[in-house]
Structure 1
Amino acid sequence: MEALPRETIVDVLEDRLRTDILDGLHPAGSYLPPERRLADGYGVTRTTLKHAFGRLAQAGLLETRHGVGTRVRDYARLGGADLLPMLVRHDSGWVREVFEVRRGVGALIAERAAERGTRPQRAELGALLAALPRAEGADAVQLADVEVHRALARATGNRVYVLLTNTLFNAYLPVRSLLQGPFTDPEAAHRRLAPVVEAVTAGDARRAREAADTYLRDTERIMLEGLA
């Protein structure tokens, strides 16, 4: 067994600052109060504050200019998809928007995979699908399902689709344990996904897109019911 990680004061402060920024207490474009005043307000040292600033700057929420101060970035205008896990953790309403993109991108990926997939890639898809009903437990079934979708993205021959697939899975990673409804029954999970893989391996692009759209809508509905 692995020991659970312990929260440090920097972890707590980072979370508090992130929440205050995303809640609008520190609006986009505004400068944070001077470090000494901010540190006193949160009851931490300036060193702790600097460490938290560094993490939030790396996450894309803050930017520090020497001699000027630390400003909240306009993440809605300048940020990228790498912010999604943080935003989902803060507000689960983002999950619905992630799923909308998941439907559109996922259906297109299945279509492209049917058009472009090589024989080895189609064989890999079949093997990954066959492994799904043998997975034990909802978490393992969910991860096995994820690997099928990663393989579908690779079969498109377009590396951007692979990165988009990774981004979308990473986006709802913070609430993944609440989205295991479609994966509690391995056989049912296999039946839902099988038409997608079968259409792709048959090279039927239209059927692959339709099957993927059905699969994505069905699993989205089940997952959102669980989240609610």
Structure 2
Amino acid sequence: MDKAVVPPEKKQYQEIGDDLRSQIIAGHYPVGSRLPPERNIAETYGVSRTIVREALLMLELQGTVDIRQGSGVYVMRIPEERDVEEDRFLSSDIGPFEMLQARQLLESNIAAFAAKMATKADIDNLKRILEQEQRAIAINDTSQDNQKMFHLVLAGASQNQMLLATVESIWHHMDSSPLWQKLSVHIESRAHRLKWLSDQQTILAALRRRDVMGSWQAMWQHLENVKNSLLELSDADAPDFDGYLFESVPIFQGKVL
């Protein structure tokens, strides 16, 4: 008999975001209404305002709320109950390298497009996320998921909801994949987090310059670095190893062959 798959533990911001989402569905906050201020939410849940910001950003990425600087957070739509169950269609038999390959092909082009489309608010949000991660690394705080947030906010900076939804779907696959969770835990060390932070600072710098090709190359290289780190930690003889997939998409001078 196959072992039951234990879903990965949710981060604090996800739990708070899900709870706020449930309150919106229950009618506590109708469309157009404003959620309580960040400090009030933080006091209610006994967490930092940084965690609350991540929870609200998650809801904004889902299209549930709109965060308006200097004004507040407003409900934009009432989520449907079936949205909560959307993970059911996700398959856990997709290999971690196949997921990473999909991300590399997709997110590199999204980064290039975002270099043209990103607003000042998008750039500021990305900068804030990297600053949060830098502080989190300094105090060895692992409760935040700034890596995921950076990639989702960058996808949103394309101003294309379909691209954002596609990137969200890939992350859902990763979050629900025991193979990915088992492998990726090895690249969450302080040294790796510092490396990813450096990579993402390079991506952000290219976006701020509106450098289309530079943004593409920076994202490609970042995910190439993740891939190489994971390959070093993998057992190539394991039956579920799918790292060979990357050999089918080599790059030469910054271009996919």
Tell me, yes or no, whether TM beats 0.5: yes
Tell me, in whole angstroms, the C-alpha distance in 1 between the residues paired with 2:150 and 2:116.
17
Aligned to 1:179: 184
Query: Structure 2 matches for 1:67-146, cutoff 5 A?
Result: 83-88=89-94, 94-136=95-137, 137=140, 139-140=142-143, 143-146=145-148
Equivalent AA in structure 2 for residue 145 of structure 1: Q
Instruction: Kindly provide the CA deviation profile for residues 112-147 of structure 1, in whole angstroms up to 9, marking residues without a partner as x.
Output: 111100111111111111111222558546x21110
Tell me, in whole angstroms, the C-alpha distance in 1 between the residues paired with 2:148 and 2:164.
12
State the Cα distance separating 1:190 from its structure 2 match: 1.2
Return the index of the structure with the highest Cα Rg.
1
Aligned to 2:209: 202
Tell me, in whole angstroms, the C-alpha distance in 1 between the residues paired with 2:143 and 2:96.
21
User: Aligned with 1:123: secondary structure?
Assistant: helix
- Give identity over the alignment, percent: 16
Aligned to 1:169: 171
Tell me, in whole angstroms, the C-alpha distance in 1 between the residues paired with 2:227 and 2:88.
22
1:189 aligns with 2:189: no
Tell me, in whole angstroms, the C-alpha distance in 1 between the residues paired with 2:102 and 2:88.
15
Tell me, in whole angstroms, the C-alpha distance in 1 between the residues paired with 2:131 and 2:184.
22
Unaligned runs of 5+ in 2: 6-86, 236-257
Equivalent AA in structure 2 for residue 176 of structure 1: Q
**Equivalent residues, number:** 148
RMSD: 2.8
State the Cα distance separating 1:153 from its structure 2 match: 0.5
1:106/1:216 contact within 8 Å kept: no
User: Aligned with 2:210: secondary structure?
Assistant: coil
Tell me, in whole angstroms, the C-alpha distance in 1 between the residues paired with 2:131 and 2:182.
23
Equivalent AA in structure 2 for residue 220 of structure 1: K
Tell me, in whole angstroms, the C-alpha distance in 2 between the residues paired with 1:118 and 1:211.
19
Equivalent AA in structure 2 for residue 115 of structure 1: K
1:139/1:180 contact within 8 Å kept: no
State the Cα distance separating 1:189 from its structure 2 match: 2.5
TM-score by length of 1: 0.57
Q: Quickly say closer, same or farther: Cα 1:189–1:120, change in 2 above 3 A.
A: same
